[in-house]
A and B are shown apart, each in its own frame.
Chain A
Amino acid sequence: MNQPSLSSGSRNVQMARSMCWHCQSEVAGEYFCERCVKVQPVSKETDYFTCLGLPRRLTIDPALLEAKYYERSRAFHPDFYLNKTEAEQAISLDNAATLNTAYRTLRDPVQRAEYLLDLEAGSAKTIRTSPPADLFEEILDLQDTLDAYRAGDHSSETGRQLRARLEAERGALERRQAEMEDELQKLFVEWDALQDRGEADDPSRMERDRLLRRIREILSNRTYVKNIVNDLVETIG
Chain B
Amino acid sequence: MARIVGIDLGTTNSLVAYMDKGVPRVIPGADGRPMVPSVVAMTDHGLLVGDEAKEHLLRSPDRTVYSIKRFMGKGLADVQSELAYFPYTLTEQGGVIRITLNGKTYSPPQISAMILKELKQRAEAYLEEEITKAVITVPAYFNDSQRQATKDAGLIAGLEVLRIINEPTAASLAYGLQEKTQGTIAVYDFGGGTFDISILKLKQGIFEVLATNGDTHLGGDDIDRRIADLLLDEIRSAYGLDLGPSPDYMQVLRLEAERAKIRLSDELKTLLTVELPDGRGRFTRELTRDQLESLVADLIERTLAPCRSALKDAGLTPQQIDEVVLVGGSTRMPLVRRRVQELFGKQPHCHLNPDEVVALGAAVQADILSGGTTDMLLLDVTPLSLGIETMGGVMSCLIPRNTTIPANAKEMFTTYVDGQTGVDIHILQGERELAKDNRSLARFRLKVPPLPAGVPRIEVTFLIDANGILHVTAKDMRTGRQQSIEVKPSYGLSETEVERMIEESFKFAKEDVASRKLIEARLDAGSLLAATEKSLSEGGHLVPDDVRTAVRAAVSALASAKEGDDVRTIRTRMAELEQTAKPLSVALMDDSLKRGLEGKKLSDVT
Contact = CB atoms under 8 A, between A and B. Distances in A.
B206 A79 contact: no
Interface in B284-302: none
B377 A100 contact: no
Interface in B346-370: 365, 368-370
A73 B378 CA distance: 10
B463 interface: yes
Interface in B130-189: 162-163
B321 interface: no
B466 A100 contact: no
B371 interface: yes
Contact of B407 (A73, A74, A97): A97
Interface stretch (B96-104, B211-219, B398-406, B511-519): B398-406
A94 interface: yes
Contacts of A186: none
Contacts of B466: 77-79, 93, 96
Residue with the greatest number of chain B CB neighbours at <10 A, chosen from A66, A98, A100 = A100
A66 to B, nearest CB: 8
Interface in A93-141: 93-94, 96-98, 100-101, 103-104
B543 interface: no
A70 interface: yes
A73 B406 CA distance: 11
A70 B204 contact: yes
A73 B403 contact: no
A78 B406 contact: yes
A94 B466 CA distance: 11
Contacts of A74: 206, 377
Contacts of B406: 78, 93, 96-97, 100
B377 A77 contact: yes
Given A93-B463, A100-B404, A101-B408, A82 B379 contact: no
A70 B206 CA distance: 7
B1 interface: yes
Contact of B162 (A66, A77, A82, A96): A82
Nearest to A78: B466
Nearest to B206: A70
Interface string A155-167: 0000000000000
Nearest to A94: B408
Contacts of A70: 203-204, 206
A3 interface: no
B247 to A, nearest CB: 45
A25 B466 CA distance: 30
B377 A82 contact: no
In terms of DSSP, what is the predominant structure of the interface of chain B?
mixed
Contacts of A80: 371, 374, 377
Contacts of A2: none
Contacts of B408: 94, 97-98, 101
Nearest to B463: A97
A141 B371 CA distance: 64
B204 to A, nearest CB: 7
Given A70-B204, A78-B465, A79-B368, A103 B404 contact: yes
Contacts of B163: 79
A79 B365 CA distance: 9
A79 B369 contact: yes
A97 B463 CA distance: 8
A85 interface: no
Contacts of B404: 100, 103-104
B217 to A, nearest CB: 29
Nearest to A81: B369
A97 to B, nearest CB: 4
B210 to A, nearest CB: 11
Contacts of B463: 93, 97
Contact of A100 (B203, B374, B407): B407
A72 to B, nearest CB: 11
Contacts of B465: 78, 93
Contacts of A93: 406, 463, 465-466
A7 B163 CA distance: 41
Given A97-B408, A101-B408, A83 B206 contact: no
A79 B406 CA distance: 11
Interface in A42-77: 66, 70, 73-74, 77
A100 B1 contact: no
Contacts of A101: 407-408
Given A78-B466, A83-B371, A97-B407, 17 more contacts: A66-B203, A73-B206, A73-B379, A77-B466, A79-B163, A79-B368, A79-B377, A82-B1, A83-B1, A93-B463, A93-B465, A100-B403, A100-B404, A100-B405, A101-B407, A104-B403, A104-B404
22 contacts: A70-B203, A70-B204, A70-B206, A73-B379, A77-B379, A79-B369, A79-B378, A80-B371, A80-B377, A82-B1, A82-B369, A82-B371, A83-B1, A93-B463, A93-B466, A96-B406, A97-B407, A100-B403, A100-B407, A101-B408, A103-B404, A104-B404
Interface of B: 1, 162-163, 203-204, 206, 365, 368-371, 374, 377-379, 403-408, 463, 465-466
Which 5 A/B pairs are nearest by Cβ-Cβ distance? Answer: A97-B408, A97-B406, A100-B404, A96-B406, A78-B466
